[in-house]
Structure 1
Amino acid sequence: MQQLLARPRLAAAIRGGLSEAPVVALLGARQVGKTTLAEQIVSTWPGPSTLFDLELAGARAALSRTPERLLRISEGLVVIDEVQRLPGLFEVLRPIRDARDRKAVFLLLGSASWDLIEGVSETLAGRVLFVDVGGFSLAETGPENQDRLWMRGGFPRAYLAPSTGAWCRWMESFRRTFLERDIPGLGSRVSPAALGRFWGMLAHCHGQIWNAAELGRSMDVSAASVRNYRDLLAGSFMVRVLPPWLENLGKRLVKSPKVFLRDSGILHSLLGLEEAIELAMHPRYGASWEGFALEQTLLAHGEREAYFYATQRGAELDLLLLRRGRRWGFEFKCTEAPRTTRSMHVVVRDLGLERLWVVYPGDVEYPLTDTITALPLKRIQDIALRPS
């Protein structure tokens, strides 16, 4: 297994963003490959470049003492890694970004969403172009590595680990560092032990409807506390909160979101799974496939306007994407030969879907009805979300 995978789509998006906007932000979980991407951009940048890694005390000290002077005189490409560690920089960047004599463009790397960093949303609203950086996709690893990517997850060091034991050790170290250093570094006062316990419990609720009261009772804390835990994990890109589609259809709809662990490797590690054969026998096998296929679909087609749909009478759709004014549906089934269900026919009619894909682990694409198609996950990046 090679030790570096090319990510040309993301690199092109970053270069395109820097040609259009003076400030571009790469947002994604820690260790997901943002720094490697930035180094690749720097290596081919035609002019001068400067890197401030805020993980290093010297860089933090320099930008804490005289941030405006340093950034205003900078030229070329300025990369600021782990920018969430100095949220005051955003206020400094605003006038520099708008200055007519500005000689630099800025590439910000962050491991927390803007909403999690106090004051940032207002400071740079409308002034930043965002590029979301997720884990490896099937397009990057190659579809022949689907099972490895599903089991190990998309963090580069986890996916490329030379052995199962090395993967397990990396996962344990990552979780410990995340809880004991990264979360406190965001200014959170949540106990690492409590958050870690919640994270583990969430693995067993992966892909289910969010129920704060039930989780709160299990942890002997308030519903507000578990919502805070969830928001911390979501804001640091560990958890995906998928909202429900609530169009008024004259039906009783499920109104709470679904919650997924975004990385399948972390899910499997929290469930105590090390080998694919253990996953196949685990009760969360189907839910694991749903979350993995969901993330791969969103990596391929974008995260905007993504929902799930469910009625109180049992009609469900795992993923609804709105694109170009049309509605596209996805069901994720971990089976060798997917078939249509009554629920699929109901949601196609109720939602007016342009097409419904039943995404499964196999190799052959074939029609199930005029509007429902069985689709191998390996081909998820090949479909076009536009009317035929």
Structure 2
Amino acid sequence: TMDKLWLRGGFPRSFLADSDTDSAAWREGFIRTFLERDIPQLGITIPSAAMRRFWTMLAHYHGQIWNASELARSMGLTDKTVRSYLDILSGTYMARQLQPWYENIRKRQVKAPKIYLRDTGLLHSLLGITDQQNLFGHPRVGASWEGFAIEQVLMSARPPEAYFWATHSGAEIDLFFLHRGKRYGFEAKFSETPGATKSMRAAMESLNLHHLWIIHPGTQAYPIDNDIDALPLKEVSGIFSAE
């Protein structure tokens, strides 16, 4: 089920575990093995405790604009070192650096990537989230949902390139890509009855989007505005398979 996939992530032994406790234990073992064995086997010599600390910090920044200086200060490291740590996690498919799109428009646009942990099960382990009750009560639940929705959309659409878009005045869209020559936007909202916002309408206009979907955890698909629809995450695959 979608809720189980969101909580436990997509690694088969985590997803198929007999209980949430067993799933969390498997993920903890995976993280330890990845840091202590897999990374050194790639010829990378970083103390596992330092990388674990960085990975955990990154979990708290999940869904935010990358700020190397802020993370470096928090960890007492150089900007260059935290950048190299991020590149290691991105290169091993643990993290996603979603790049910004910029148009030649008269707006100051964000030019740093947004950072996500690609597997929400690992994200939840690093945040200390063990079950659905923990997840729904956690301050990062919205960011977790955003990353989960983005990964599911990208798995369905498989665009060669994907971006987010944001301006310094606050207009933004979580996900943007071209599909068969048309411009599509996606916004993830952890609400069963999401509506359109001023920010979404600004993105529609500035990016000349063909369509914008608001991806939510509910069960109902419904129109919101011209070319803006609310869509349950479980129905995302239908957008592209129908073409």
**Superposition TM-score tier, normalisation by shorter sequence:** over 0.9
2-structure distance, mates of 1:202, 1:268: 12
2-structure distance, mates of 1:211, 1:155: 29
The answer for unaligned runs of 5 or more in structure 1 is 1-144
In structure 2, what is the equivalent of residue 165 of structure 1?
21
TM-score (norm 1): 0.61
2-structure distance, mates of 1:173, 1:314: 40
In structure 2, what is the equivalent of residue 108 of structure 1?
none
Alignment partner of 2:49 out of 189, 193, 218 = 193
Q: Deviations over 1:60-109 (max 9, x none)?
A: xxxxxxxxxxxxxxxxxxxxxxxxxxxxxxxxxxxxxxxxxxxxxxxxxx
Q: Is the 8 A contact 1:244 1:255 kept in 2?
A: yes
Amino acid at match of 1:348: M
Q: Is the 8 A contact 2:192 2:219 kept in 1?
A: no
2-structure distance, mates of 1:157, 1:167: 7
Q: Does 1:210 align with 2:66?
A: yes
Partner secondary structure for residue 242 of structure 1 = strand
1-structure distance, mates of 2:97, 2:242: 26
Amino acid at match of 2:55: W
Q: Does 1:375 align with 2:231?
A: yes
Alignment partner of 2:76 out of 201, 212, 220 = 220
2-structure distance, mates of 1:312, 1:168: 38
Partner secondary structure for residue 383 of structure 1 = helix
Alignment partner of 1:241 out of 84, 97, 101 = 97
Q: Is the 8 A contact 1:328 1:385 kept in 2?
A: no
In structure 2, what is the equivalent of residue 54 of structure 1?
none
Count of residues in Structure 1 that have an aligned counterpart in Structure 2:
243
Q: CA deviation at 1:381?
A: 0.3
Q: CA deviation at 1:386?
A: 9.3
1:79-90 aligned at under 5 Å gives the runs none
Q: Deviations over 1:220-249 (max 9, x none)?
A: 000000000000000000000000002221
Q: Deviations over 1:274-333 (max 9, x none)?
A: 110111111101000000001000111115210000001110000001122221000000
1:1-388 aligned at under 5 Å gives the runs 145-384=1-240
What RMSD, in angstroms, separates the aligned Cα atoms of the two structures? Answer: 1.2
1-structure distance, mates of 2:206, 2:20: 45
The percentage of counterpart residues that share the same residue type is 53
Q: Is the 8 A contact 1:324 1:386 kept in 2?
A: no
The answer for unaligned runs of 5 or more in structure 2 is none
Amino acid at match of 1:200: T
Partner secondary structure for residue 73 of structure 2 = helix
Amino acid at match of 1:330: F
Q: Deviations over 1:175-202 (max 9, x none)?
A: 0000011101111112211111100000
Q: Is the 8 A contact 2:171 2:203 kept in 1?
A: yes
